[in-house]
Structure formats: C-alpha cells, structure tokens
Structure 1
C-alpha cells in the first residue's frame, strides 16, 4: 500500500467528465459523471488498489458533491458507492434526486 507524503487533492476534470483524487501528483482514484440538464449523474467510482484503505474514495466523493452544490446542480447517485455515501451524509439530501428509469435509460445510451 502506498503511503502519501502530501495531502491528497481532488480536481474536477471536465474534459474527462470526472473528479480525480491525486496523491503526490498521481491519480489514485476517480468518480465519473455525466450532466443531464441540472443533474450531475454519478455512475462510477474507483480507487486504485495501491491506494486502498486510506479513505480516499470518501474524500473524493465528499469533495465532488461539495463542488456539485457550489455549481447549483443536483446529484443523481447511480454509482453504488456514491449512493452509500449519501445515506451516511444527509447534508446532501436537499440536492439529491432519486435514480429513475428515465435517467438509467438516458445513461445507458450515453455510456453504453
């Protein structure tokens, strides 16, 4: 397991439509999204095995959702990790929308 020497940072990568968590400049994980109108639909989160067990996924999602709040968008948690995170962090309930069949159908056409 890699031990970070500097504090991890989270950056939004609009070109790739994802938030990335960096440890010493190396991408350690990401949470991917697509925007659907005023909704930011999160559909996948991962942390590299080398960085597992350090709480990076939680920090990544926390900062990503905080950024969504600042942007005025709403959260749609298709990703199971993001959905689980939201159950424990009710401070985002006011900007969270339920996952609907329409959103899932739209997402399927966008990501395949």
Structure 2
C-alpha cells in the first residue's frame, strides 16, 4: 500500500480525493493532534486505518513529538496497543 504525505495528512490514492487518509495538526512544538481518519468502505477491515495511524506515529517519533488523538478510531488504536506508549498521550486500557 502506497501511503503518501501532504502537509497535515497521510493518504492513499489521489491527493484531491483519497481512498483513505488520516489528518493531524501541530499542537505546540512537541505535539500532534490526530483529528480525523477516513477509509473508503471497500478498503475497510483490511488494516488500512492502522497503517495510517502507524504513519503518523513514525512521523511523530522522527520529530520527537507526542500524539493526542481526538479521532475516536485513532484513539482506540493508540489506546489498545502498548507499542504506541512512547508517543501517545492518553491512558491505555487495561486488559
């Protein structure tokens, strides 16, 4: 899957009308806020959303930033996996 980056999003497909994307904004100098994730219905249940979250996580790590997730999907992904604990500002659910 070819994930591309534009200013404040990672996306799959055409830049003007992507099949999937995750949008984030800078919050101060050391944080990013993920505010929206979208995956076209035909691509759902294939791990595309998590790959987009992983792209933002890699971006945040490379810049030494933390992530705040306002998007419910991204928040669930980040909350449910301890591999994101180094960048996610939130409380991980106990299992």
Question: What's the TM-score once normalised by structure 2's chain length?
Answer: 0.79
1:83 aligns with 2:86: no
Q: Which contiguous aligned blocks of 4+ residues in structure 1 show a shift greater than 3 angstroms?
A: none
- The 8 Å contact of residues 20 and 60 in structure 1, kept in 2 or not, is answered as yes
- The 8 Å contact of residues 21 and 56 in structure 1, kept in 2 or not, is answered as no
The residue aligned with 2:26 is: 35
Question: What's the TM-score once normalised by structure 1's chain length?
Answer: 0.68
The residue aligned with 1:9 is: 2
- CA shift at 1:22, angstroms? 3.7
Counterparts of 1:52 and 1:85 in 2: how far apart (Å)? 14
> Which has the larger share of helix?
1
Can you give the 5+ residue segments of structure 1 that lack an aligned partner in the other structure?
A: 1-7, 99-112
Count, aligned residues: 88
Counterparts of 1:95 and 1:53 in 2: how far apart (Å)? 25
- Bigger shift: 73-82 or 84-93? 84-93
Query: Over alpha carbons, which structure has the higher Rg?
Result: 1
- The 8 Å contact of residues 57 and 87 in structure 2, kept in 1 or not, is answered as no
The residue aligned with 2:9 is: 18
Secondary structure at the aligned position of 2:56 is classed as helix
